[in-house]
Structure 1
Amino acid sequence: MQSPPIQMLTICGISELPDQRERSVTHVLSILDPDHPDPEAFEAYDPHHRTILRFHDIINPIAGMILPAPEHVEAVLRFGEEVAKNHGGGAEGHLLVHCHMGVSRSTAAMLTLMAQADPKESEDRLYERLTEIRPQAWPNSRMVEFADGLLSRDGRLVDALRRHYGRQIRRMPRYEQLMRDLGRGREVEMAA
């Protein structure tokens, strides 16, 4: 891929899905907890291509929970390939990526899709674009680590993630304690 196949990009949480149905969404990547029911909001959407992935938003093993794994990020990349193939670079499409809150798994997935679509874009610029799409973005570091390797970014996506976390903590200081409370202290420590 040379440039993003779809120009309209949206990230949201489940509670925001009804607000998106009038926006002519053409492609959806849903990332849900394994036991969460399928959101009913999609019943009101126009026909669209949708892929569903199921794993938890964690970065360390927790009994009874599914960690993000390389195969999940590989599935995100396959979704990106399908979007590119089926949409052919037209600007009229609308890609929606959602998870439960629209903060971590969905932002990591969107970052992965943008890096895949634009391999020459600088990593810091990818995070800037991500924050323009979803200001509260705090990408799941485990997913970003896998994406970095799969996209041959040689650690640059992870290094830029450190800077992104630092900017997010400066912008939203409450994130530091929130992420620690969620078991994501390692990501807070990554912040540069």
Structure 2
Amino acid sequence: MTSSGLLPFPLTICGIDELPEHAAAGVSHVVTILDPQWPDPEHFALYPPHRRTIWRFHDIVNPQEGQSHPTMRDVEAILDYGTGLRTEVVEHLLIHCHMGISRSTATAIILMAQHNPGREAEAFAHLKAIRPFSWPNSRMVRMADDQLKRKGALVTAMRLHHHGVARRHPDKMPYLRASERAAEVPPEE
């Protein structure tokens, strides 16, 4: 958990298995992003009262039969959520998906970049500080770049982030190279 100046409240990103670790962290708002048929995590019974938003779509970047990919409507919902947070008292925002690597980190980047044009690289630096192994969903980031009229700045910052993650975590790159994310993984050095 840490605050950045990009958001006026602390932000935590995690996966489902990490949720119990944050139950006593003063979380006032939660964003849950899960696959459409995944059961709701029971861990929130441990949390004090909080405001929770749930979105359901698969963590894919290319349309696949039988899968619900993130859409522009999903990104617009994230941006609407970010606008709404500016009018609320937010003590601490927690964003989670299954593993806290892709959908949750893309959502965090979108929220950090939303009201901070020109600070895209700073948003990714903050992401690195709070979630060292992260691989934001590039489909979501590209749609946000278009929606926020960043002219590629958010996508460029994401690519630089991917390169840094690949250098720091080469052991995790074979998994990504074997997935639909292969085109996002920089060549081995």
Are the equivalent residues in 2 in contact too, given 1:6–1:93 (CA < 8 A)?
A: no
Matched residue SS, 1:17 = helix
Partner Cα separation in structure 2 for residue 34 and residue 180 of structure 1: 25
Tell me how far 1:5 sits from its aligned partner: 4.8
Partner residue in 2 for 1:10: 12
Are the equivalent residues in 2 in contact too, given 1:30–1:53 (CA < 8 A)?
A: yes
Please point out which of 132, 136, 153 is paired with 1:139: 136
Percent identity between matched residues is 48
Partner Cα separation in structure 2 for residue 24 and residue 147 of structure 1: 29
Partner Cα separation in structure 2 for residue 43 and residue 6 of structure 1: 27
Q: In the alignment, residue 107 of structure 1 is paired with which amino acid?
A: T
Tell me how far 1:189 sits from its aligned partner: 4.8
Q: Relative CO higher for 1 or 2, CA cutoff 8 Å, sep ≥ 6? A: 1
Partner residue in 1 for 2:113: 115
* Residue 163 (str. 1) matches residue 160 (str. 2): yes
Partner Cα separation in structure 1 for residue 65 and residue 154 of structure 2: 29
Partner residue in 2 for 1:149: 146
Q: In the alignment, residue 123 of structure 2 is paired with which amino acid?
A: L
Deviations 1:50-71 (A, max 9, x none): 1100000011122100111111
Partner residue in 2 for 1:26: 28
TM-score normalised by L of structure 1: 0.90
Partner residue in 2 for 1:106: 104
Please point out which of 66, 69, 73 is paired with 2:68: 66
Matched residue SS, 2:185 = helix
Which runs of 4 or more aligned residues in structure 1 lie more than 4 Å from their structure 2 counterparts after TM superposition?
none
Q: In the alignment, residue 48 of structure 1 is paired with which amino acid?
A: H
Tell me how far 1:190 sits from its aligned partner: 9.1
Are the equivalent residues in 2 in contact too, given 1:9–1:96 (CA < 8 A)?
A: yes
Please point out which of 169, 176, 179 is paired with 1:179: 176
Tell me how far 1:6 sits from its aligned partner: 3.3
Are the equivalent residues in 1 in contact too, given 2:6–2:123 (CA < 8 A)?
A: no
Deviations 1:77-124 (A, max 9, x none): 11111211112xxxx710000000000000000000000132342x21
Provide the alpha-carbon RMSD of the alignment.
Answer: 1.8
- Could you tell me which runs of 5 or more consecutive residues in structure 1 were left unpaired when the two chains were aligned: none
TM-score normalised by L of structure 2: 0.92
Are the equivalent residues in 2 in contact too, given 1:28–1:48 (CA < 8 A)?
A: yes
